[in-house]
Amino acid sequence: MQFENTLEFARKLDAEDNLKKYREEFHFPKVNDEQVIYFTGNSLGLQPKRTKKYIDEVMTDWKELAVEGHFYAEKPWWDYHERLAAPLAKIVGAKTNEVTVMNTLTVNLHLLLVSFYQPKGERFKILCEEKAFPSDQYMLRSQVRFHGFDPTEAIVEVNKRKGEHFWRTEDIVKKIEEVGDELALVLIGGVNYYNGQVFDMETITKAGHEVGAKVGWDLAHAVGNIALQLHDWKVDFAAWCSYKYMNSGPGNASGVFINEKYLGKKGIQRFEGWWGTKKETRFLMKPEFEPMENADAWQLSNAPVLSVAPYLASLSMFDEVGMEALIEKRNKIVAYLEFILHEIDKEVDTTFEIITPKERGTQLSVFLHGEGRSIFDYLMKNGVITDWREPNVIRLAPAPFYCSYEDMYRFGQILKNGILKK
């Protein structure tokens, strides 16, 4: 399609957008009395209007039923979390029994490493990408120290090539082969938070398995953003948060995938709690732990229903729309944003360098060569919410659920004016 950098053309794309009515389903903050242009759905998704209803329902049940709500609420609390597994399984390409919702992301990564990082003899190393998300780095380092290893020896990072801003799959595979028998685990962010790169999860998972390692993925920036086939890719485990592209609210609950082949097993290492034991006998309060036959075996506590409720609200929207339609709009709106950036680039002295490779989802990370933080402040003051990373990268993630083509056009104009005004 031949794009045009005009308001009229952007409005034409919006008029043809099958998802346009979903924009009305979200609350937008306002700046100067106007809805903001929101590029930070990769950090905290906007609030869906229907979320309040889901929370109010729990509040009302709690008010009117108190403890009886566990079994007699409209959606009983004791198995409330089970409602999330089926819609989530569709989004991550899993079987329903392989998915559960519990805790928060970093907590879950620690718990999953209890099961999937068991160093033995020479096999004690973990491979990850260089400059992984800080929480993942802290998690990995503290895990290897917990097992008595030195992180500088036990953690192997795959670097980008000099002068390049992305990782090459062949470099990751080569490193996996090099570490070989010493490799216990591969754990990478499926979509990199900084450059927006989508990793070839299938190829990397296969390479890890070929040397006898387990392979897990942190999908914080992937879920609700890109197509996933965790089951078919034979991924061992994965975890993600729900407040980024999943729009389920600040700090909210995390989703977990555990490959079917580990389910219903008694011998597996796992930290356990009462919500992981069979629900048929749970309230007999017996001393033996009998694991649930599904990923719920990893649950420790009774579900935080007030945080699972907004997640369920969000999933109801994903279920209505489907990832396929979201991805179709995503591809088009990101391509339009890229086009706008190229057009504006011609009109200003600043050079824009998109560092996101072609394997991408919703996010474009852009170097604004010659600009400083003041352009970011200008954008914020003018109603464009972006994310600034030193020295001069802005991350733009136009979530297809609620961003419009007109937003992309207007962003281009505001960016241009901000640069020209300097």
Ligand X SMILES: *Cc1c(COP(=O)(O)O)cnc(C)c1O
How far apart, in whole angstroms, are the C-alpha atoms of residue 151 and residue 137?
Answer: 10
Residue among 307 and 382 whose Cβ is closer to ligand X: 307
How far apart, in whole angstroms, are the C-alpha atoms of residue 42 and residue 364?
Answer: 11
Residue among 245 and 336 whose Cβ is closer to ligand X: 245
Residue 397 makes contact with ligand X by CB under 6 A: no
Give which of 135, 117, 324 is closest to 240, Cα–Cα. 135
Of residues 75-104, those binding ligand X (CB under 6 A): 104
Residue 193 makes contact with ligand X by CB under 6 A: yes
Smallest distance from ligand X to CB 42, Å: 8
Alpha helices in 23-168 (DSSP H): 51-65, 69-72, 82-92, 105-116, 134-146, 151-154
Smallest distance from ligand X to CB 192, Å: 8
Smallest distance from ligand X to CB 254, Å: 6
Pick from 105, 201, 263, 348 the residue near ligand X by CB under 6 A.
105
Of residues 218-237, those binding ligand X (CB under 6 A): 218, 220-221
Pick from 47, 51, 100, 106 the residue near ligand X by CB under 6 A.
106
Residue among 240 and 409 whose Cβ is closer to ligand X: 240
In sequence order, what are the residues at sequence separation of 6 or more whose Cβ sits closer than 8 angstroms to the Cβ of residue 149? 119, 124
Smallest distance from ligand X to CB 351, Å: 28
Residue 302 makes contact with ligand X by CB under 6 A: no
DSSP state letters, 241-253: ESSSTT---TT--
Q: Which helix (H) or strand (E) holds 394?
A: strand 393-396
> What dihedral angle (degrees, nearest 10) is formed by the CA atoms of 395, 400, 401, 403?
70
Distances from the Cα of 251 to the Cα of 105, 107, 314, 364, angstroms: 9, 12, 14, 24
Residue 355: strand, helix, or coil: coil
Smallest distance from ligand X to CB 363, Å: 11
Pick from 39, 77, 124, 133 the residue near ligand X by CB under 6 A.
133
How far apart, in whole angstroms, are the C-alpha atoms of residue 252 and residue 315?
Answer: 13
Smallest distance from ligand X to CB 299, Å: 17
Residue 340 makes contact with ligand X by CB under 6 A: no
Pick from 45, 189, 361, 418 the residue near ligand X by CB under 6 A.
189
- Rounded to 5, what percent of the chain is helix, strand, coil? 45, 20, 40
Write the interaction track for ligand X spanning residues 233-272; mark x where CB under 6 A is met and - where it is not. --------x-------------------------------
Total residues interacting with ligand X, rule: CB under 6 A: 12
Backbone phi, psi, residue 240, to 5°: -155, 160
Q: Output the known binding site for pyridoxal 5'-phosphate.
A: 105-106, 133-136, 218, 221, 243, 274, 302
Residue 183 makes contact with ligand X by CB under 6 A: no
Residue 135 makes contact with ligand X by CB under 6 A: yes
Q: Which helix (H) or strand (E) holds 417?
A: helix 405-420
Cα-trace Rg, the chain: 23
Smallest distance from ligand X to CB 27, Å: 21
Would you tell me which residues interact with ligand X (CB under 6 A)? 104-106, 133, 135-136, 189, 193, 218, 220-221, 241
